[in-house]
Structure 1
Amino acid sequence: MRGQPFLTQERRTWQNTSILSEQNFLKLKEIMYDHTFEAGSYLFWEGDPADKLFYIKQGQVKLTKTNAEGKEFTLHMFQDGDLVGELAGFTTLKHSYNALVTKDSIIGVIQTRDLEVLLWQHGDLAVEFIKWMGLMNRITETKVRDLMFYGKPGALCSTLIRLANTYGKQTEQGWLISHKVTHAELGDFIGATRESVNRMLRDLAKKGVIAQEQGHIIIKDIDYLRDICHCEHCPVTVCRI
Structure 2
Amino acid sequence: MTEVRGEKFHPLAFLAKAGIGRKVLHLKAKAVMFSQGDDADAVFYVQSGRAKLTVVSEAGKQATITLLSMGDFVGEESVAAVRGTRLATATAITACTVLKISRDEMVRVIHEQPAFSEHFLAFVLSRSMRIQADLVDQLFNSSEKRLARVLLLMAEFGKPGEPHMLIPKISQEALAQIIGSTRARVSFFMNRFRKLGFLDYNGRIRVNKSLLNVVLHDQLPEGNAKKPVLTGKLAGNPLWDK
- What TM-score, normalized by structure 2, do the two folds share? 0.70
* Superposed counterparts of 1:116-195, under 5 Å: 116-165=107-156, 169-170=162-163, 175-195=164-184
> 2:101 is paired with a residue of what secondary structure?
strand
**Contact 1:153/1:228, CA 8 A, preserved across alignment:** no
**Contact 1:63/1:74, CA 8 A, preserved across alignment:** yes
Name the larger-Rg structure.
2
**Contact 1:64/1:75, CA 8 A, preserved across alignment:** yes
Is residue 26 of structure 1 aligned with residue 16 of structure 2? no
**Contact 1:75/1:140, CA 8 A, preserved across alignment:** no
RMSD (CA atoms): 3.0
Equivalent in 79, 98, 108 of residue 99 of structure 2: 108
**Distance verdict in 2 for CA 1:179–1:22, change over 3 Å:** farther
Instruction: Measure, in 2, the Cα distance between the counterparts of 1:68 and 1:109.
Output: 28
Unaligned ranges ≥5, structure 1: 1-20, 230-241
Deviations 1:184-235 (A, max 9, x none): 23212212111111223344445x2534342334437234322149xxxxxx
Percent identity, please.
20
Following TM superposition, where does structure 1 have runs of at least 4 consecutive aligned residues deviating by more than 6 angstroms? none
Instruction: Measure, in 2, the Cα distance between the counterparts of 1:169 and 1:155.
Output: 23
- What TM-score, normalized by structure 1, do the two folds share? 0.70
**Distance verdict in 2 for CA 1:84–1:22, change over 3 Å:** farther
Deviations 1:67-91 (A, max 9, x none): 3443322223323443222233222
**Contact 1:62/1:99, CA 8 A, preserved across alignment:** yes
Count of paired positions: 204
Instruction: Measure, in 1, the Cα distance between the counterparts of 2:194 and 2:89.
Output: 33
Unaligned ranges ≥5, structure 2: 1-7, 220-242
> 2:149 is paired with a residue of what secondary structure?
helix
